[in-house]
Structure 1
Amino acid sequence: MPSTPRRTVAPESREFLVMVALSMAMAAVSIDLLLPAFPQMREAFGLARGSTEVARVVTAFFFGLAVGQLFYGPLSDRFGRRPLLYVGLVVFAVGAVGSAVAGSLGTMIVWRFVWGLGAAAPRSLAIAIVRDSYAGDRMVRTMSMIMTIFIVVPIVAPSIGQVLVDNVAWRAVLWAPLGVGAVLALWMLRMPETLPPERRRGLAPRDLRDAAMTVVSTRETIGYGLASTCLFGMMAGFVGNAEALIDQVFGQADRFALIFGFVAASLALGSMLSARLVVRLGSARLMRFLTVYLVVVAVAHALLVVATGGRPPLWAWLVALTFLMPALTALLPNANTAAMAPLGRVAGMGAAILGAVSTAGGALLGAIVDSTFDGTARPFALLLLAYACVAATLVTVVARPPRTTEIPVVVVAEV
């Protein structure tokens, strides 16, 4: 008796978009839930109040995220996207459990690296899945829509984390992502395999070398990829410094989740605007406008902070961030798409290299912001300005204009 074919979702469906967004959000869930627990972590591990050493659990996670992508991308080009997603979710679970039971900060940092290795699979392969299914401006619009859904996580996660810390225990924020991972694993049973066998590549050294050379020799890919690194560094700098800034600069530790959620909501605005504007303007024109806007608002933010001795009024700082942060989420999907656009036949390797470089590089840039915190918002503002200027230079000078022709490439294979 023939078996009933597995029912899968169509790449153009809303369910597909939400599924891919949740895959990308697994990393954000694993970071943002933990942020409200930093004060309890300092107490548990014998650190001084306000110590930025706890931010190393975020940096270690980012580095694991970077290293993991180097493996999942090429392997998924050979074996398909879905099998590697499940391998990553298993590693994700192991890292989460190890972190939850860690008895010291050093041990937790090690397990957070492992956790990042697992989270790299859903994050990087989600991008490859989108590249398998779309091209051109349609791909940009799809990525922007996914980012709009994805950005809900940093809006609500800190509040959920605060509830868990206040009413359960601070380690509950380390166990909670396991439940999210289990939901994703079950839901992924409906995910189609977007890379059919005839489009898969071998794992022979020559094949891997050729694929990697295609990625690193494409000027457009390098320019936009490094710009994404700077943009991610700005995001990582905010995430790693948010708790210290809100507590020590503005004295609002008890309102951390609310303030962080407010800024995160502005990120959603950038994604939504990008999804709408790319249809009207095209990716090339939109990116030129956004890079200029990014530098202008970064200059305004830095001037505000410097003029107030590094301690601006909270309301003024939040207004400045509300204009600055949306530029990041508007630019990132466009830059990522432009970087991936020429890499159709090596999408897995492209996603791996670009993801690893942007994540590791962004984590390093964010760690620099963490390490320069001096009790004021001055280093944060000046470094974000520097990163914005470098990103704008990479987009306008190093990279060529992205392709803007819409070429729908919807490929679905059953396995």
Structure 2
Amino acid sequence: MPENATHSSQPITVGAGFIILLSALMALTSLSTDIYLPAMPMLGRELHGDAEQLTITGFLIGFTIAQLVWGPISDQLGRKVPLIIGMLLFIAGSVGCAISSSMTQMVFWRVFQALGACTGPMLARSMIRDLFSRSRAAAMLSTLMIMMAIAPIGGPLLGGLIIEFSSWPVIFWLLAVTGVMLLLALLTLPETLPEERRVRATFNGAFSNYFSLLKNGLFLRYTLSLTSYYMAIYAFIAGSPLVYISYYGVSPQHYGWLFAVNIVGVMLISTVNRRLVQRYPLDILLKTALSIASLAAILLTLAAGMKTGGIVFLAVMMFFTFSMNGVIAATSIAAALDEVPEFAGSASALVGALQYGSGIVSTGLLSLFSDNTPWTMSWIIGLFTTTGAMMVLTVKRRH
């Protein structure tokens, strides 16, 4: 049902098309990574390299650094122009990946692809904060997560289907075409940050906002909690192809279904969370979700350490850990941005940079300590999920 925004000088009608487009922008990161997960073993063989996980690391490095630049720019120029420029960079990077002939080239173009891809989820969050208050923003973010879950569900399934009948370059050509379609849709997007609410400082002054954000204790606590949880999430994303396909012998096509089960959990929990945020404080919801995720992650770690439970126990525990993302991401982001509404663009950039940059740590640890069993992935998930929970369990309750 359409709803008029409340923060803009000229109300913007928020209809189904607007929500779908924002969902697609937020899903761009997941699609860019998840769709080629089934092709990673093939990628390593055909590009004559054994560092295919670095294609994820490279993407996350570009994604993290670029957000810190785009955030202050969007606070000064508005949201629409950076989105359009970012989509052009994403298209160019996708084409570069498709024509790569070595692992070095692939990693380079993945970094380039990320320079543009990061504008989608970052500015979608900023636009929600431009238009809605704290609790309503959390509900809207939950709505977006329900719709954006199509990408991580369909991505591995589609990627597995493509490599069954073709090869990995087709995956990146498909991403390029997707970028073109989103670029055309962006031309119809309204600007949510009016002139009178834009930052008037110089770019150097705008970047100093990050120092102010880092001094805000509550903002930082919510942000670091999400960051720690996403270290666990990226450990699963990067480590699960090895565990499921190489260790347990699951086919690349069936791997997509195993991965999709977790995203279905995110969709279900996000649906429930849309109602919960209207009835309960965000902090209570966040603490509860992180506690559930931590318990499942600890059990997963213990089972992996004792080499018991098998693939079924691993999949069940990951379902509970991963699906809590439907509450954790929406509530922590809404709570963090609500602390600093005057710096929504910069704050969203910093949240996104730390959230997705956390994957750099995860993939680095996986590469460093991998023993070709589920153990390394499991202890990384257990460690960082519980760390994220500890960050918010001491936050003073807010109503």
Paired residues of 1:229 and 1:362 also in contact (CA < 8 A): no
Which of 322, 340, 343 matches 2:319? 322
- Kept in 1, the 8 Å contact 2:25–2:120? The answer is yes
Q: CA deviation at 1:203?
A: 4.5
- Structure 1 match to 2:38: 36
Alignment check: 8 A CA contact 1:220 1:400 kept: no
Provide the TM-score with structure 1 as the length reference: 0.89
Distance in 2, matches of 1:296 and 1:61, equals 30
Q: CA deviation at 1:328?
A: 2.6
Q: CA deviation at 1:214?
A: 2.8
User: Is the partner of 2:239 in helix, strand or coil?
Assistant: helix
User: Distance between the aligned counterparts of 1:12 and 1:247, measured in 2?
Assistant: 43
TM-fit CA distance, 1:305: 2.3
Partner of 1:54: 52
Q: By how many angstroms is 1:128 displaced?
A: 0.7
2:352 corresponding residue in structure 1: 355
- How far did residue 273 of structure 1 move? 2.6
Distance change (3 Å), C-alpha of 1:253 and 1:312: farther
- Conserved? CA contact 1:234–1:384, under 8 Å: yes
Q: 1:257 and 1:342, CA in 2 relative to 1: closer, same or farther beyond 3 A?
A: same
**Does the aligned pair in 1 maintain the 2:285–2:327 contact within 8 Å?**
no
Residue 28 of structure 2 is aligned to residue 26 of structure 1? yes
Q: CA deviation at 1:206?
A: 5.9
Q: 1:93 to 1:112 in 2, by over 3 A?
A: same
**Quick one: which amino acid aligns to residue 34 of structure 2?**
D
Query: In the alignment, residue 384 of structure 2 is paired with which amino acid?
Result: Y
Question: In the TM superposition, what are the counterparts of 1:327-338 in structure 2 within 5 Å?
Answer: 327-338=324-335
Query: Counterpart of 2:279 in 1: which secondary structure?
Result: helix
* Root mean square deviation, CA, Å: 1.9
Aligned to 1:339: 336
Cα distance in 1 between the residues matched to 2:246 and 2:356: 28
5 Å-filtered alignment, 1:1-400, equals 10-47=12-49, 51=50, 53-204=51-202, 207-254=205-252, 255-307=254-306, 309=307, 312-397=309-394, 399-400=395-396
Deviations 1:205-227 (A, max 9, x none): 56325522331111111001111
> How many angstroms apart in 2 are the aligned matches of 1:64 and 1:11?
34
SS at match of 1:193: coil
Q: Which runs of 5+ in 2 are unaligned?
A: 1-9
Q: Using the TM superposition, name which of 293-302 and 358-367 deviates more.
A: 358-367
> SS of the counterpart of 1:234?
helix
One-letter identity of the residue aligned with 1:392: A
Q: CA deviation at 1:312?
A: 3.1
Report sequence identity in percent: 23
The one-letter code of the counterpart of 1:227 is S
| CA distance in 2: counterparts of 1:209 and 1:249, whole angstroms | 46
Query: Match of 2:65, as an amino acid?
Result: V
Give 1:303 deviation, angstroms.
2.4
Contact 2:73/2:203 (8 A) holds in 1: no
CA contact (8 A) 1:66 1:360 kept: yes
Deviation at 1:249, TM superposition (A): 2.2
SS of residue paired to 2:151:
helix
Q: Secondary structure at the match of 1:21?
A: helix
8 A contact 1:240–1:370 mirrored in 2 = no
Kept in 2, the 8 Å contact 1:221–1:342? The answer is yes
Does the 8 Å CA contact 1:233/1:387 hold for their aligned counterparts? Answer: yes
> Is contact 1:290–1:327 with CA below 8 Å preserved after alignment?
yes
Counterpart of 1:4 in structure 2 is none
CA distance in 1, matches of 2:44, 2:11: 45
Partner amino acid for 2:230?
F
State the number of aligned residues.
389
Deviations 1:28-48 (A, max 9, x none): 11111111111221221224x
| Aligned counterparts of 1:369 and 1:59: Cα–Cα separation in 2 | 11
5+ long unaligned stretches in structure 1: 1-7, 405-415
Report which stretch shifted further, 348-357 or 147-156: 348-357
